[in-house]
Structures are given as structure tokens and as C-alpha cells.
Structure 1
Amino acid sequence: MPFEAAYRQFLQSIRQNSRLRMAPTPSGFLHLGNAYNFILTWLAARYQPGAKLLLRIDDLDADRKRPEYVQDIFDTLQWLGLDWDEGPTTADDFEENWSQHRRMSMYLKMLEELRSGNWLFACGKSRRELALFQGNYPIEFRDQGLSLDSPDVAWRIKTLRSETDIPPDFVVKRRDGVPAYQIASLADDLHLGITHIVRGEDLRSSTAAQQFLAKCLAREKFAAIHFLHHPLLVDATGAKLSKSAGATTIKTLSRQDLTPARIYQDMAVWLGIAQGGVQSATDLLAVLKTTA
């Protein structure tokens, strides 16, 4: 199905009690792909009066997090003219009240449930060793003779190898003891009552992993969430935009000739609707409502 049609179908599923979220990670300055995701999510939340939009910042990866990256999230949303209904209002408010580290006990409890259900095994293999298998985790590595309580081991979940869309035996707890993204994202979406999620195509495997986790944990509500996976923006070489590529960040482009109006006009074209007169998010929403 063409993305324009898939998006319109997604919009029709929004209800007055729907809850959506923007969930950036503060691991670099945001790029155009992040902006497009924010806008698609904002439009969906504002399409139906009564639906709520939340801001959640996924900051468990302390090694990559920087204060300037957190601030960039708020700066970018303000520059785009996007609002939200729940979540942090400033970088300081986020650190004091909304950081994922404040929900660590919730993530650890979920991990213990998986452990009690005998879903997990310990892995002591290094990234260098695993790189040789190009993401295809060997099933024989499940029996390394390591306890889950051993130091410096990752916790992995035993996946069904017949379901090829799920990353094989993916990590749920990192070697440094931090719950992995799949666990934290699942726990947060359930905790916040999220009903609709907009993601890039590159996160289809994450969606499959989280749906698998939800089944293992008997979290039936997660199965009811509506997912939309949008095409990725690429650079001139066809490579996916990256936060590490400074030339494509919103921070850099906004200092040159890029304006929010240009982004919204390009979004209109991307969604297959007329761009005439579109200068802002509210303009694009109005046009979308007349054509959807």
C-alpha cells in the first residue's frame, strides 16, 4: 500500500481517547527525518479532537546522552511550532521529573518477570565476536554455561526462530546492567497508555521485538496498538539520515536557508496533497482534513 494511503488509513483509526507520543533519543542533534516523524505524529494526534500527544525522551543510554542534545529536542519542536499535551516542558523539567531513569524500577520488574518465566539466558559474547554473524545470533550460543547473575553478561531472550521478522535472541538487558531499548519502550508505552505509534521503516524489527515481548509477558493491551511505519529520508547518496551527520541536522540547516514553511510544504507533497498556502503545522493539518 502506498504510504499516503496507509497514513490516511492510520488517521481514520484515531479516536477521541487515542494517545500518541513523540519519543526522540538525546543521542545527537535531530535531523530532517526526526522532524518528519514529529510532524506525522502531531498531525495524527490533532486530526481528531480529544486525542492526546505526549513527549517522551528516551534517555537510558547515558553514554550517548548530552545536555545539548536534550535541549535540541525542545528547540526543534519550538522551531517547528509543534505542541504537546503531556510530558516535560523544558530540559530542566525533563531531568527533574521525566527522565527514564526515574522509571528504572518498572523496567527491572519487567525483566524479572521474563526471568521468572524462563525466557532469558546470559550471553558473555563481545560485540566483536557477534559481528562475525552479521545479526544472525547462533542458537547454540544459548548454552554458554553462564548464570544470569554472572558479572558482565547481557540478558537475551529466546525468540522463535520461525518468526523471521523478530531479531534473533535480542538483548533485553545490557552488559552494563541497563535495560535495553526494547524493554524500556514497551514498558513506557504500556505505562502511558499509548494507542498509536508512528515509526520509521527502520524500526519494524523493534516493533516485532516489542510485540513478542508483550506476548511473553501477557500484556494483551500492546497488541491493540496501531503502528504506522513511514519511509525514511535519505541523503544524496541514498544513505539514511544520521544524527552524526552534522550537515543534515535541523540545527545546521535552520541556520542556512531552511525554514519551517519549506518543511511543511515538502511534507504536503510527500503526503500527496496540495502545498499551496501551507506555511505551518496548522496549515498542513487544515489541508489534510479537507482531503483525507
Structure 2
Amino acid sequence: MGGSSRNHRAVLAVACIAAASMAFIGSRSYVSFLSSSVRSPSLARNQAPVMRRLSLLRRPGVSPAGPCNAYASVAGMRRRIAAAAEGPVRVRFAPSPTGSLHVGGARTALYNWMMARKEDEGKFVLRVEDTDVARSTRESEESVLADLEWLGLKWDEGPFRQSERGEIYKEMVEKLVASGHAYPCFSTEEELEAAKQAAIEKGENPKYDGKWRDVDPEVVKQKLENGEPHTYRFKVPKGEVVTIQDKVRGTVSWDAEATLGDFILLRSTGIPVYNFCVAVDDALMGISTVVRAEEHLTNTLRQVLILKALGYTPPEYAHLSLILGQDKQKLSKRHGATSVTQFKEEGFLPSAMINYLSLLGWNEGTEQEIYSTDDLIDKFTLERVIKSPAVFDMDKLKWVNSQKIRELEEKELSPLIKPFLESAGLPTDEGFLSIATKMAQQRMEVLADAPTIVKDALAYPLSATLETKEAKKLYESDDDFPAFAAAVVDDIESGAMPAPSADLGTYEPDFKKWTKALGKKTGRKGKGLFMPLRLLLTGRMQGPEVPQQLALGAAAAQASSGVVSLEARTAQIRETFTKEPAHSA
């Protein structure tokens, strides 16, 4: 174990002495005792984080020397110190700004965020891994950050950009060189390619052959002084076996020497490589658990080797399974929308995305499918994350979204569907929007469905509907259908049926009262009343509530929007079913 870890243990040992002494010291603070006890400069460097953790040991309102002292037993003291030494959860999401935030990345961010939110002092760190200069763009970064904010995954620290931390990485390379864990390599691209091809021809693993690993220091010094191009490589320890206890995948081990050649830390351009930056940042940012996609599992070997060489204890790891399309292939653009931006534009709610993404690889062991975000935070644990691939089901996501839409109050939903109505050229005044919201809420899967639902309600496709098998069965098997149609027309023209009004609160009960009276007059009830009435007044066999559709038409007429008026509908009913000429306007 590295010097930093030994120093950490030494400080904790001093802390143990301090805590044990509290019963005798009385009013003397154990933190003060710790401060006065640490004299070594190397220990002092590690004192601050341990003291922060030890501050968790003291329980508010309990005197250190009192009879209820939490440190009355050595065993209790040890348990408390062990818990404090673990510290609060610090997790990170580290996207590369080379495109949009996709489903897999959003799930990774969500799992990390929920872990941080489970604890009062948990921290969710945002780090932008933009060392791929050729592909990284600030536009992509801004898009990813905007998507995280839309989802509600607000970070506590950052964003930290690796492109702005170059001096830190160079300093760490120098530290590794000084400790004998890294060295400059002067092999040219041509030499490396030739060695690679030779290894392939021999059927060997095409790894770096270690040509510059143990070269005479004087030769290296001379080349450096001559300014010859070089990279810096990590010296993979011989015989080293790296083992991690992955919180999702269990025990994972690698034979480092058999798996890797000495790998590059710093390119000849001075740009650090991905795995080196990740290891350094995870250490310096105090990341306690790395939760990321399965594809990063192979990177863990390099990162753990680097961390140990620098004297840091590696974090815990949890590698999440792949997300597949319904064809069991890796989710990609050919499966439809895969980026958070696309889902937002199609009218999915952030709460629905959070709900559904949480279930892509995690289940609390029940049949529950709809969760509030707070409920998810409370119940989520890495122990319940499965290692088999998750299948992305768009139909299931739409169902979850529809349930979340139904949970909203009208005042919450109206401003969400307003932009979709505007883009479709529909009215968005207060009266129209209110009716449209009530009418669409129970039928939408996504917010983008609202314009279609509204336009269908404003139209009157009676002629086309009458050609369908379902409609023909309704009116051709009903000998009294023409008489019923005539009764409806008479009530409309006589004013017995209340005139459609944009005031749905008044119009809806009036309409239902009239419908009941119409049923008594015509001797109809149930489906025998409601289905023919729906067909006549809306021109469809199914759809939103009839009074809502008529009220929407009244509101649209007030907004001078194209709508088939009740008068026009009445004329078509008369012409189609009663064989009487339409009354002139």
C-alpha cells in the first residue's frame, strides 16, 4: 500500500488514541488532541480529511465524558471510527462531450445522482472528459449539461474539465517517473507498428515490448536534453494480479503483465491519455464509488495500477450492463430516439424518464412500476442492480409517460402542451388551452400527441366513419336510428340541447342533464344512447368526452380557428339520416 494510505492509517491511529482518551480528558476536545498530536509533515497533509470525517463521530448534545458517551466501549469506538473513515458518498458522472446525452449515459448519471442523494452529505460531481481534442466540442458539452438539468440531475461540484487540468496530470507523471513507476519512451510510430505486426504474426498479444523500460538512464537523459519526441509509459509490475470486488459483477481479476504492455500516460504532444486522467481525477476528487457502463470494465485494470502507484486507495467500482434494443442488439439510432434531447422534443416528461431509466437494470424486488423520484432515491441500491443486459422498450416508456401525465394538475400540464399546440398552428388562449388540456390528458402517451387529439376533436369525419364496419354495424342494425337522429336535430334546433360553450365547467353538467332527458324521450340508455349520440355529434366512434369536444369547438370558434361548427354538423346529420332538406341559415 502507498505512503498516502499508510499516513492515513497513522492519522486514524492517532484519532483512536484521542477518542479513547476522551473519557479521561473530559472537556478537552478530541479534535484539539488530534491537532496537537500530529507533528509529522507527511501526517499533517493527511490530517484535514480525517478530521473532517472524525467530526461525524461526535453526537450532538452528548458530553464526551458523560454517562451516555458513545465511546464508553472500545468496540463501539472502533465501529464509529471505521464508519467515519469511510466518509460520505462521492460519486461522479464523467461524459465525453462528443455528442448528445444518450439513454445509457443518462442512466449512469441517474444511478450516481441517486446514490449521492441518499445521504445528507453525499456529493454528485460532474466532470467533463474532453481530452479527445479532435472530437470534443463545447456545443456538445452544453447540450449534455442542459439535458442533465432537464432531467433534474443537478450536480453538486463541477463541471470540471480535463482539458483545463493539464498541469495536474504532468505533475502526476513526474511523480510516477520519480518513484520508478513510469519512464520516457522514444519509440517511433514506425517501430511500434513493426513490433505490433511481428507479435501478431507470432500469434502473440500485440503489446508494447518494453524497449525503453530499463534503458541506461544516461541514454535517456541525453535524448531528453536533445529534445527528441517521446511519450511517457507506465511500468506494469511483473507478476501483479489486480482484483476488484465489483458491486454489480462480483469478483473480477486481471493478470496485469499478461494482459497489458507498458501503456502510455502522456502522449508526445503533451496530452494525457484518457485512463491516466480518469485515475488521477478520481483520486484527487475523492470519488468513493465509480458507477459506469460495462464497456469501461477493461479500463479498470490500468486505472487501479495507476492509483496504487500514486499511493491512492482505488474507489469501489460498479459496472452497469449494456442497454439493448428489442432486437437484442446494442441500442443505437436505428432503434429510434436514443438521446435525451429527442425524448424531450417528442414530449416525454423528465419524471417519466427518471422512472423508466431507473428500471433499466434495477428492481427493488416488487411488481411496482411507477415511482416518484423521492421514492426511487429511498429504495435504490447497487445491490439490486442486475448484471444481465437491459432491454429498452419504447412502448413501456410511453406507458410510464402516460401515467406521469395523468398525475399532473391542469396548471402543471397546460404550459407543457402549449408549445406543441402553437407549433401546430392551434389556439393557445386560456379558454382553449384549458379545455384542450383536460381533453388530451387522459389520451396522451407523449405531449406531442396533444395537437392530433385536438385537431381530431375539431374535425367532423362523419362520412368517412359511416363507411367503417364498426359504424355500419351500429346504424344499420338499429331500425330507429333515423328517428333518433331526427330527435337530436330537433333538440339542437329548438335549443333543448344546450349550445356549446367554452365554459366547460358549466357546459359539461348541462350537456349531461340534456343527454339524460334525451334518453328518456327516445327510450334509450347506456350504449344504445351514448354510442349513436357520439357518432352523430363528433363524427367518430370513439374519442374524448363529447361535451369536451363540443366545448373545444366553441372555444376554437371564438379564436377564429378552423372548426366544423355545430350548425354544419346538424345539416350533415339531417341530410344523411332524416331525408329532410337542411334548413337555410
The question of a shared fold, defined as TM-score above 0.5 by the shorter chain, is answered with yes
CA offsets 1:121-152 (integer angstroms, 9 cap, x no match)? 41423697687578944353534989574655
CA distance in 1 between counterparts of 2:128 and 2:306 reads 21
Distance 1:130 1:265, change over 3 A: farther
CA distance in 1 between counterparts of 2:336 and 2:353 reads 20
2:144 corresponds in structure 1 to 73
1:125 is aligned to 2:194: no
Unaligned runs of 5+ in 1: 1-11, 89-97
The within-5 A match list for 1:89-108 is 98-108=160-170
Deviation at 1:178, TM superposition (A): 0.2
CA offsets 1:99-122 (integer angstroms, 9 cap, x no match)? 323321110011112222343341
- Which residue, out of 65, 71, 84, partners 2:155? 84
The within-5 A match list for 1:193-232 is 193-217=286-310, 219-220=311-312, 222-223=313-314, 225-232=315-322
1:95 corresponds in structure 2 to none
Answer yes or no: is the 8 Å Cα contact 2:231–2:266 preserved in 1: yes
Deviation at 1:157, TM superposition (A): 1.8
CA distance in 2 between counterparts of 1:286 and 1:182 reads 33
Aligned AA for 2:359?
Answer: A
Answer yes or no: is the 8 Å Cα contact 1:136–1:168 preserved in 2: no
Aligned AA for 2:231?
Answer: A
Answer yes or no: is the 8 Å Cα contact 1:121–1:158 preserved in 2: no
1:248 is aligned to 2:325: no
SS of alignment partner, residue 128 of structure 2: coil
1:175 is aligned to 2:268: yes
CA distance in 2 between counterparts of 1:62 and 1:244 reads 28
- Which residue, out of 166, 170, 176, partners 1:114? 176
2:99 corresponds in structure 1 to 28
Deviation at 1:199, TM superposition (A): 1.4
Paired residue total: 267
CA distance in 1 between counterparts of 2:184 and 2:207 reads 13
1:267 corresponds in structure 2 to 358
Deviation at 1:168, TM superposition (A): 3.1
Deviation at 1:169, TM superposition (A): 2.2
CA distance in 1 between counterparts of 2:139 and 2:328 reads 28
Distance 1:57 1:269, change over 3 A: closer
Answer yes or no: is the 8 Å Cα contact 1:159–1:169 preserved in 2: yes
1:285 corresponds in structure 2 to 377
CA distance in 2 between counterparts of 1:141 and 1:200 reads 31
Higher helix fraction: Structure 1 or Structure 2? Answer: 2
Deviation at 1:32, TM superposition (A): 0.5
SS of alignment partner, residue 56 of structure 1: strand
Distance 1:38 1:109, change over 3 A: same
The within-5 A match list for 1:153-168 is 153-160=230-237, 162=239, 163=241, 164=254, 166=256, 167-168=260-261
Answer yes or no: is the 8 Å Cα contact 1:120–1:156 preserved in 2: yes
What is the TM-score with the length of structure 1 in the denominator?
Answer: 0.75
SS of alignment partner, residue 199 of structure 1: strand
Flag the structure with more relative contact order, 1 or 2, with Cα contacts below 8 A and sequence separation at least 6. Answer: 1
RMSD over aligned CA atoms reads: 3.6
Distance 1:160 1:70, change over 3 A: same
Distance 1:138 1:286, change over 3 A: closer
Deviation at 1:283, TM superposition (A): 3.9
CA offsets 1:32-67 (integer angstroms, 9 cap, x no match)? 000010011011111222211111112222211112
2:130 corresponds in structure 1 to 59
Answer yes or no: is the 8 Å Cα contact 1:265–1:278 preserved in 2: no
Aligned AA for 1:101?
Answer: S
CA distance in 1 between counterparts of 2:174 and 2:334 reads 35
CA distance in 1 between counterparts of 2:107 and 2:342 reads 16
Answer yes or no: is the 8 Å Cα contact 1:19–1:53 preserved in 2: yes
SS of alignment partner, residue 124 of structure 2: strand
Between 155-164 and 206-215, report the one with greater CA deviation.
155-164
Distance 1:275 1:287, change over 3 A: farther
Between 196-205 and 247-256, report the one with greater CA deviation.
247-256
Deviation at 1:208, TM superposition (A): 1.6
Unaligned runs of 5+ in 2: 1-82, 242-253, 385-585
Answer yes or no: is the 8 Å Cα contact 2:115–2:380 preserved in 1: no
Answer yes or no: is the 8 Å Cα contact 1:121–1:155 preserved in 2: yes
Answer yes or no: is the 8 Å Cα contact 1:31–1:241 preserved in 2: no
- Which residue, out of 174, 179, 188, partners 2:281? 188
2:398 corresponds in structure 1 to none
